[in-house]
């Protein structure tokens, strides 16, 4: 389990936007560890977790992208049914509302779950 940053990059709802975001990061040698898209809230967005937060910020800013950052908890999962349910139930019991979640691949593990919720410092105690 680690704490890292998720970048919520706001894009237009048009063809080629995902390519534009990922190409900007590739040109800066930023490796993407997790990626999801969303159309809620402020509009279409790309949610990305990378291996280099500072370079991600620089690349997105230079390209003129509007983005926000969220602290995210990444939990390694055992590859068996019910593991996501167990984490979701733990968070619910503690009164934590999950505002964002997605599965990500991680080297040498079956999968990891990236979770954004309020007050992550308390979540770390039981996740």
Domain that holds residue 80: 71-123
Same domain, 82 and 65: no
Residues 92 and 47 in one domain: no
Q: Does residue 60 sit in the same domain as residue 23?
A: yes
Mean pLDDT over 82-109 rounds to 82
Overall average pLDDT of the 98-123 stretch = 73
When pLDDT is cut at 50, 70 and 90, the band that residue 19 belongs to is very high
Averaged pLDDT for residues 96-101: 86
Residues 65 and 77 in one domain: no
Question: Within this chain, do residues 58 and 117 fall inside the same structural domain, yes or no?
Answer: no
- Residue 106: what pLDDT? 57
Strand-by-strand arrangement of the 66-77 sheet = 32-38, 45-50, 2-10, 66-77, 109-117, 98-106
Domains held by the chain: number: 2
CA distance 48 to 42: 16
Q: Are strands 66-77 and 2-10 parallel, antiparallel or unpaired?
A: antiparallel
> In this structure, are 10 and 57 located in the same domain?
yes
56 and 66, same domain (yes or no): yes
pLDDT exceeding 90 applies to what percent of the chain? 46
Mean pLDDT computed over every residue of the chain = 86
pLDDT score, position 127 = 46
Q: What is the pLDDT of residues 33-53, one digit of tens each?
A: 889 988 877 789 999 999 999
Q: Which CATH number do you get for residue 95?
A: 3.30.70.260
85 and 110 share one domain: yes
Span 47-69, mean pLDDT? 96
Domain final position from 70, 90, 113: 70
Q: What is the DSSP letter of 80?
A: S
């Amino acid at each position: 389990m680690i704490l890292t940053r998720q970048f919520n990059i706001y894009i237009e709802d048009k063809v080629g936007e995902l390519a534009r975001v990922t190409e900007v990061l590739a040109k800066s040698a930023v490796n993407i560890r997790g990626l999801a898209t969303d159309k809620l809230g402020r509009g279409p967005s790309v949610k990305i977790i990378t291996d280099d937060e500072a370079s991600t910020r620089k690349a997105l800013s230079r390209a003129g992208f509007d983005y926000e950052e969220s602290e995210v908890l990444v939990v390694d999962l055992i590859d068996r049914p019910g593991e996501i349910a167990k984490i979701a139930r733990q968070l619910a019991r503690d009164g934590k509302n999950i505002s964002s979640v997605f599965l990500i691949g991680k080297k040498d593990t079956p999968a990891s779950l990236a979770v954004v919720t309020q007050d992550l410092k308390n979540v770390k105690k039981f996740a």
